[in-house]
Chains A and B, each alone.
Chain A
Amino acid sequence: MKRSLPDGPPTPTLRDVAARAGVSIRTVSNVVTSAVAVRPETRSRVEAVIDELGYRPNLAARRLRSRRAQVIGLVLPDVTVPYFREFTDEVLTAASARGFAVVVEQTHGDPVREREVLRNAKLRHVDGVILAALTLRPGDLDTHPGRPVVLAGTEAFDETIDAVSADYAAAGRSIGTLLGEQGRRRPVIVTARQPCWPITESARYRGFVDGLAEHGVMFDGSRIVEVPAVTLADGRDAAATLVARFPDADAVFANADALAVGVLAGLHDADRCVPNDVALVGFGDIEYAAYTQPSLTSVNTMRAAAAGAAVALLQERLAGTERNEPRRIDTGFLLMERATTAPTGTSATPVGSTTTAATGVAS
């Protein structure tokens, strides 16, 4: 066996696995890449030997030999949602800078598509995957040897998989704290319906509730308006609903900026003044957030840094230079306070100014 370092542990090679399993090198390769069918008994035998020897395929060398450009699969719910569109742009930029092409695959929040992403025929040629998952819980993802996955762009987390994210509980808390500090007592949440992962089970919700509680506001879990999807139109509909169901609402936390922008338009239609009657906070800090009338307070979860970190991590995994344990990278977050949470009693739109309260942890 080849030795990786003097006196270091021996590194099993393709040849070692083939010899031990009693098959050819080509067969082991085919098992690892799943590119070509192998008889089931043979596959099991080879996989058992791979586990036994602790073999890790050297993908970089294989790609160099085949001289094919490296390709990343970016799997996310929907590219038309502004937050994910901007995230995709950042991934494309970061990937392109490192010589990767990117296949974009939409899941539409389907839990089966998220779980089985690595079996997706359209992704069979990609070398690694960045997955922005909405429904995945720890242990859900079906992984198989040979292709690295990085979770990025959402709250989804699994200890066994590399992940790039932010402290969503702290982010939620910063919103609850802001609204509590301003004396908002009757907040309402607007969110897209997600049966596989209801908002009440998310870290940001727990943080939000805690932040409010610190200011004596006990959030009532029934004050949640759910809409079918993250679209501007759904946000507008949500505003109509919340005005009818919760006419006393004095603050809205919309769980995505696209919804917040729609809510803003809907509140205007219902003659509710923002922020004087109703404060509004979004999530994601899309580019548009600073240019709404009034400008939208939101949480920036450092998309550009997350995209860059995810691509870099994939590149390291493919080069085989990363250590074996899964990595968790925290990009930090920023609460961008803008005009939709200006303290009541002031005039609605400050001219061109944006104040930001930085509360984040960079790793």
Chain B
Amino acid sequence: MTDVAALAGVSKKTVSAVVNDVGQVSRATRERVRSAIAELGYSPNPVARGLTARRTGSVTLALPYLGSADLAAIASGVIAEGERRGFGVLCEPTDGAANAQVLRPMVGITDGVLLVPGRATTDLGGDVPVVVLGHRIVAADVDQVVASAAVAVAILVELVGPTGCIIIAEQDEADLVPDRWRSLLRTTGDASARSGSEAMHAAFAAEPGIRGVVTLGTGLGIGAAHAVSNAGLGIPEDIRLASVGAGAEPGFTVPGITTAAPALDVLVRTAMARLVERVAGFTGPAAIIDVPWIVTERGSTAR
């Protein structure tokens, strides 16, 4: 403001009066101040205005990481939806850790957060609106747009056949496996194809009677398929296989892998729409919105 005053040759008080449109200021002086403002590009209190207007034009997508096909499918859907709506999408990898430290510094940078929570997610902070999306519901009073992993696992275990079936999931998603099938669970360190392959090798070594595999994540499924083939066994003749998750890769293995994928369009568009409403000031009660699964049967579960 000092610069504007200096350029216009008036006091700061006069500048303030012009900006706020109060007080007795002559037309000539008003003009001089306005043109000084234009020249210097001065805007009163832009940060505060940013907060109240909440118009940074960006949203944050906070997710554990991006490398798995399943998370990448959600991320690219969010980025595409952001493009459609003219928002920037800031990607914040959380490693699944407790999210408060990620979410708190968002004020002034983004308008709101779409959060794919990890197992350890607890405190969601409160400075900007948050909408949860993905496969996990958290105990927090926010909108959640979720395709429940437990539902998908149950569908695929029935489809593969529970007898002689194992479930492979990464440690951080072990809690998503429904209690009924918990005894079938074998956990891995992460969701990579390598981990899926190693888990399958280990399972063969430990249990001769395996007849079916359900993986929580398509990467694990691709690795498991590789291990089955390396063991000289056939899919589906010897081992039936299905995976929960998104991504195109299961359609291109030989045979193709049966999948349960979330209806991604619905997931992403609904979550983004809820976030936009919250950013605009909607204060209705938080809702949990269920997103359906789409099961695509392929050669890996053929009879």
Contacts and interface: CB of A to CB of B under 8 A. Distances in A.
A295 B90 CA distance: 35
A50 interface: no
17 contacts: A38-B41, A78-B76, A79-B75, A85-B69, A88-B66, A92-B65, A93-B93, A101-B60, A103-B91, A261-B249, A262-B252, A268-B254, A288-B193, A291-B223, A293-B226, A293-B253, A349-B229
B249 A71 contact: no
B162 interface: no
B66 A85 contact: yes
Contacts, number: 145
A232 B65 contact: no
Which of B40, B42, B89, B108 is packed against the most chain A CB atoms within 10 Å? B40
B42 A125 contact: no
Contacts of A74: 91
Given A92-B65, A102-B90, A291-B193, A27 B40 contact: yes
Contacts of B92: 96, 101-102
A122 B230 contact: no
B67 A101 contact: no
B6 interface: yes
User: Which range holds the interface residue count of chain B?
Assistant: 35 or more
B249 A92 contact: no
A220 B91 CA distance: 44
B289 interface: no
Given A79-B79, A287-B192, A287-B193, A69 B230 contact: no
Interface of A: 24-27, 30, 36-39, 42, 68-69, 71, 74, 78-80, 82, 85-86, 88-89, 92-93, 96, 101-106, 121-123, 125, 231-233, 235-236, 261-262, 264-265, 268, 287-288, 290-293, 295, 349, 351-352
Contacts of A88: 66, 72, 75, 91
B253 A292 contact: yes
A258 B3 CA distance: 57
A103 B90 contact: yes
B134 interface: no
Q: Which 5 A-B pairs have the closest CB atoms?
A: A36-B41, A122-B88, A89-B67, A89-B66, A24-B3
A236 B57 contact: no
Contacts of B108: 68
A236 B252 contact: yes
A125 B223 CA distance: 41
Given A80-B72, A106-B79, A291-B222, A71 B192 contact: no
A92 B93 contact: yes
Contacts of B25: none
B292 interface: no
B252 A96 contact: no
B32 to A, nearest CB: 15
Interface of B: 3, 6-7, 38-43, 56-58, 60, 65-67, 69, 72-73, 75-76, 79-80, 83, 86-93, 105, 108-109, 192-194, 197, 219, 222-223, 225-226, 229-230, 248-249, 251-254
A233 B79 contact: no
A291 B194 CA distance: 8
A96 B92 CA distance: 8
A351 B87 CA distance: 48
A38 B90 contact: no
A42 B80 CA distance: 38
A360 B299 CA distance: 40
Contact of A122 (B6, B42, B58, B69): B58
Which of A26, A71, A291 is packed against the most chain B CB atoms within 10 Å? A291
A103 B80 CA distance: 13
A235 B252 CA distance: 10
B143 to A, nearest CB: 23
B89 A89 contact: no
B57 A352 contact: no
Contact of A232 (B39, B76, B225, B252): B252
Contacts of B72: 79-80, 85, 88-89
Nearest to A26: B3
B105 A69 contact: yes
A79 B79 CA distance: 9
Nearest to B88: A122
A37 B41 CA distance: 6
